[in-house]
Structures are given as structure tokens and as C-alpha cells.
Amino acid sequence: MKKIITCAALSVLGLTLPIAHADEAAIRQAFAKSMPEVKIDSLKPSEVSGLYEVNVGSTLLYASENGKYLLQGRLIDIQTRTDLTEQKLAATRLQALEKLGESKMIIFKPKIKKYTVSIFTDIDCGYCRKLHSEIDQYLAEGITIQYLFFPRAGKGSESYNKAVSVWCADDRNAALTAAKKDQKIAAKTCANPVDEHMQLGEEFGVKGTPMIVTEKGNIYPGYLPAKELVEALESEKKSH
């Protein structure tokens, strides 16, 4: 069994790693020992002394510098009343969406682009259908809609199979619109990103659909009419 490398152990070994690096080594070894299936994407000191930020995919955790304790929750700056965790998560979400890429999304584009949102959608969800039935209103406001699938019934469900069939259709946009109207579409299979969408949704903490992710990485759970979404996006711009 490997021992966790502490600062004291490094000193005995005659190594001169900075304390921060020693702490990182302790945390990485603790994860490797207790949660080998978890891949740490980044690790760095947080705003709180003795606490490290641990990025795992689009999830942000906090670990003690000795790697013994793990926290999952929100870090709040009391003085400014700022949710520091949400700020970091927003940036992480944007990186994840960029990594996925537009080629793995179904995109509805306006004539003049002013805003872009990514929406996790379930073909059979009532409010998802309501949102899509008003797609022309969103486009008229200059909102680009980037769809990702999140069939809430899970892999292999009817909603999941519909998502795959839509992706594999000759005209994905038309097929998605038809499916949202509960029209029958041809059942098809092909290489598709539906599982990737679902994994990303899990990492983003999707609890219901639709879930809207803005250009700043912020989340609006649920349906928002086009006018209200524009107001939210404009407010977001002014706050940055």
C-alpha cells in the first residue's frame, strides 16, 4: 500500500518540492488510492487557506491539503456575497461545451446573431416542446439555439431512441421539429453524441429539462419565453 507523501516525508527524502506541490501530491495520491476511477483535470489552491480546488470534468470539489477530507458544496465570499464556486463552474461549463463542439449539436441560427444559448432538451418533455414551438420567436430576437439531448428516461428509453433517430436523420433540424410535434420519424441508428450529451448534462447537474446554459456559462433551469430570456442575457452582459 502506497503511503501518502507528506511534507515531512519529502523532507526525510531530501526533496525540496514547494509546499503547494507537496500538498498536490498528497491529494492526488489520496484520490488514486480511494477513488482510482476519478480523473483529476486540474488541482490548485482555493481562496481558503488549506483548501484545494479539484476539477473533475465539469464538477468542482474541495480537498484538504493533506488529501484526507473532501468537500462538495458552495464557497461563498461573505463580504461581497459572491458565489465563488458558481463563477468557477460557469467557466468550466463553457470549456466543456467548447470541447464538445458545435459539430455535435443541433443548431438553429437566426438571420442576425446577438446571443447564443445551449439547451439540454428531452424530445418528450412538455416544456421542451413548448420552447421549441416558439423557436421562431427566439430566432427573431437574435438567439442562436444549440441543442443537446438529455432524455430523462435514460439510455435505451423511447425518448433516447428518438434522440438517436433525430441525430441520424438526413435533416436533423427538420427531424427534431417533427419529433417535438409528436410526429413519427424514421427510426435510425448511427454514430451519435447522445451519450456524450447525457454525460455532460450529468456533470452540469441537469435536474430537469429544458436547461439553458448561457454564453457566460450560467444556468437557467426550465422554460423561459424569448423576451424573458433576452432580458436575462442582457442583464448578464451588464453584470460582467
Catalytic residues: 122, 125, 128, 152
The three-class DSSP label of residue 116 is strand
**Helical segments of the chain, H only:** 7-13, 19-34, 84-100, 126-133, 135-140, 158-168, 172-180, 194-204, 226-238
d(CA 51, CA 53): 7
Residue 211 sits at φ, ψ, to 5 deg, of -130, 120
Q: What angle do CA 88, 39, 216 make, to 5 degrees?
A: 20
